[in-house]
Structure 1
C-alpha cells in the first residue's frame, strides 16, 4: 500500500522508529570486522547543531621539527699535568777551587768559633792550608814563567842586586842634577811669607838656600803682610799684588816655581825637604814643557822601559777569559814594541 494512503498516526510511528534505529550504534561482533562509515553518518551525529552542523576543519598545527639531539662530543682525555719538579740544587764552584774556598772558609771559621770542636777546627785549618798551598804553587810557577820571559822580568826596570840598583841610582842622580841646573836658567823660586807670623820660615829658607847654592836658582820673597822676612838671605822682599790669592795661597810659608813669561806653579803650601822640592820642580818643569817626559823619567832610578800603553790595546785585544793564548800573544807584541820604542830597535 502506498504511504500516502496510510493514516497519519501510522506514518508518525513509522518515522519515529526509523529515527531511533538510526541513532542506535551499529553492533559488531568480534567475528565480523567493523564496517566503514557510510556517507551521511556525520549528518546524524551532528543533527543537534541544526543548520550549523557543518564547520571548517581546524587547521592542522604545524609540527615543529624536534631539534635533533646534539651528539655528545667524545670526552677528551684530561691532560695529565706533570708534577712540578723540585728546583735543582744550585751548582756551585768545584771543591778545591779558589771560588769554593772563598765561599766555604768564612762559614767554617764561624762554625769553629761558635762550636770549637776538634772536627770543626780541623775542617777550618785544613781548608786554610789548602789556600796557602795553592798560593805557594802559584808563587813558584810565577817565578818560573817570569824567569823564562824577559818581557815579564821586572829586573829590566829595577834590578834586584844592590850593585845594579846603586848604578841606576847614581846615573839617575847625575841626570837629575843636570836637568835642575837647566831648569834654574829658565825659572825662579818664589817664597810667600808673613813677617809677623812665620814660625816655619826658617825651614823653608834652609831648603831654598840649598837649591840656590847647588843648582843656581834665583829666589824671590813676597810678603803678604808687608813685613820683612826675618834673617832673610835673599835680599829685599816684594809686596803681594794679588798673586797669592790667584794661586790659592792661604798658609805660609808657600813655595812656587815662576816660569817665564807669566806662569807660576805652587810646589808646596808648607815646609818641604830639598829632595821633595827637586822632584816637584822637575814635575812642574815637565808640565810646562821646559823638559821632556823622557828626560823627566830618566831622573828615576827605576828604569821606565817597556811601559805598555793601555790605549793601544783598546780595539785589538782578545778577551783573556775566552782566548788566553791569543791574549798573551797580543801582550807579548805590545811589550816588545814598548821596549823597541825605548831603545829605537825596529827589528
Structure 2
C-alpha cells in the first residue's frame, strides 16, 4: 500500500468540493427552469392515489329564537257580593261546607246565602213597585191576577174557541184509524164523539182489519183501502186532520182528550192559512199584545247603552201593539 501523501488528501478534498458545486449548480438550474411555479409553500400537496378530498358539508343555519309570548291579562275580578261574584264563588263555599263541615265553614256559607237572598228580596220589592206604577209593563193587563178577572177572560176565550173551531169544522175533517182489538182506540173514540158533538167536526173511522171495535159492533166505519199506508200510520189510535182535496196533517198517534184535539186542530188550521193570527189570538185566555218578531233589529247601539232610551224604545213598541190589538 502506498502511503497517503498530502497531495492525495488535497486531491480528494478538491473532488468532493467540486462534486458539491456541480450538485448545487444542478439544483440552481432546476430552480431557474421551474421558477414560474412559485415558492414551494404555494404548491398544492399531491393527492394520494385512489383518494378524493372530502367535500365540505353545508352548515345548517341556526333557527331563530321564538318570540316571547306575552301572557294574556287576567280578567278583572268581580266586585265582592255582586251577582257575578256569587255565580263564580258561592258553590265553592257550599262545597267546602259539605266536604269539611266545620262550624266556621257552614256559618260562612249561611252568611253568604243571607246576603244573596237579601239582594234578591230587594230586587223583588223594586220590581213590584215598578209594575204597580208603570202599567205598560204590568202583566195584569194581559192576564188579570184576580180570580174574577181571570175567570171572565177564560169564559171569553172559550166562547171564541168554540166559534172558531165550529167555523174550522166546515172546512176540515177528522180521520180516525183503528183496529177492532185496539183497547186504546175504544177510549179514543169517546173523545172524538165529544169533538163531533161540541164542535161539529165530521169524524171518519177507518178500520185497518175491516171490522168494528169489539165493544162497538154497531159503529159506523169504512175499511182501509191503502189510506193508512199512504198517510204514514205507524201506531194506533192514529188521528189526522184532512183538508180536501188532498191535504192532511197528523194530529196524534195516541189517546188525546177532546180539548187537546181541538187545540191541535186550531194550530193546524193557522199553519194551513185557514185562520189568521188575530183570530187565533182570540181563542187564548190572555190578551195577545206581543212585540213584533222583527222588533229591535234596526236599533242603534246607543239606545242599548242608555237605560232610559232603552225603556222608552220598548214602551213605544208595546203601546203600538196594544193599539193594533184593540182595533
TM-score, normalization: structure 1? 0.68
Query: Is 1:284 paired with 2:268?
Result: yes
8 Å Cα contact 1:257/1:267 also seen in 2: yes
- After superposition, residues 243-282 of structure 1 pair within 5 angstroms as 243-282=227-266
| Deviation (angstroms), 1:224 | 2.2
The alignment partner of 1:200 has SS state of helix
| Deviation (angstroms), 1:289 | 2.1
Query: Is 1:152 paired with 2:146?
Result: no
Query: Is 1:202 paired with 2:197?
Result: no
- Describe the shift of the 1:178–1:234 C-alpha distance in structure 2 as closer, same or farther (beyond 3 A): farther
CA distance in 1, matches of 2:293, 2:195: 37
CA distance in 1, matches of 2:75, 2:157: 58
| Deviation (angstroms), 1:104 | 2.5
Query: Which residue in the other structure is 1:180 paired with?
Result: 165
| Deviation (angstroms), 1:102 | 2.1
8 Å Cα contact 2:209/2:223 also seen in 1: no
| Deviation (angstroms), 1:278 | 1.2
Query: Which residue in the other structure is 1:95 paired with?
Result: 80
TM-score, normalization: structure 2? 0.72
Indicate which of 204, 223, 237 corresponds to 2:222. 237
> What CA RMSD, in Å, does the superposition of the two structures yield over aligned residues?
2.3
CA distance in 1, matches of 2:321, 2:202: 39
Query: Is 1:339 paired with 2:322?
Result: yes
Please give the per-residue CA displacement for 1:82-140, whole angstroms capped at 9, x wherever unaligned. xxxxx998641111211122222222223323333333222211111110000000000
- After superposition, residues 58-137 of structure 1 pair within 5 angstroms as 91-137=76-122
In structure 2, list runs of 5 or more residues that go unmatched.
1-71
8 Å Cα contact 2:212/2:219 also seen in 1: no
- Describe the shift of the 1:125–1:239 C-alpha distance in structure 2 as closer, same or farther (beyond 3 A): same
8 Å Cα contact 1:219/1:234 also seen in 2: no
In structure 1, list runs of 5 or more residues that go unmatched.
1-86
- Structure number, greater radius of gyration: 1
Query: Which residue in the other structure is 2:66 paired with?
Result: none
Segment of structure 1 superposing worse, 134-143 or 177-186: 177-186
Indicate which of 135, 141, 144 corresponds to 2:126. 141
Query: Is 1:310 paired with 2:293?
Result: yes
Task: Kindly indicate which of the two structures has a greater share of residues assigned to helix.
Answer: 2
| Deviation (angstroms), 1:232 | 5.8
Query: Is 1:217 paired with 2:213?
Result: no
- Describe the shift of the 1:182–1:254 C-alpha distance in structure 2 as closer, same or farther (beyond 3 A): same
CA distance in 2, matches of 1:265, 1:88: 57
- Describe the shift of the 1:280–1:293 C-alpha distance in structure 2 as closer, same or farther (beyond 3 A): same
8 Å Cα contact 1:203/1:271 also seen in 2: yes
CA distance in 2, matches of 1:188, 1:289: 16
CA distance in 2, matches of 1:191, 1:88: 66
| Deviation (angstroms), 1:234 | 5.1
- Describe the shift of the 1:145–1:252 C-alpha distance in structure 2 as closer, same or farther (beyond 3 A): same
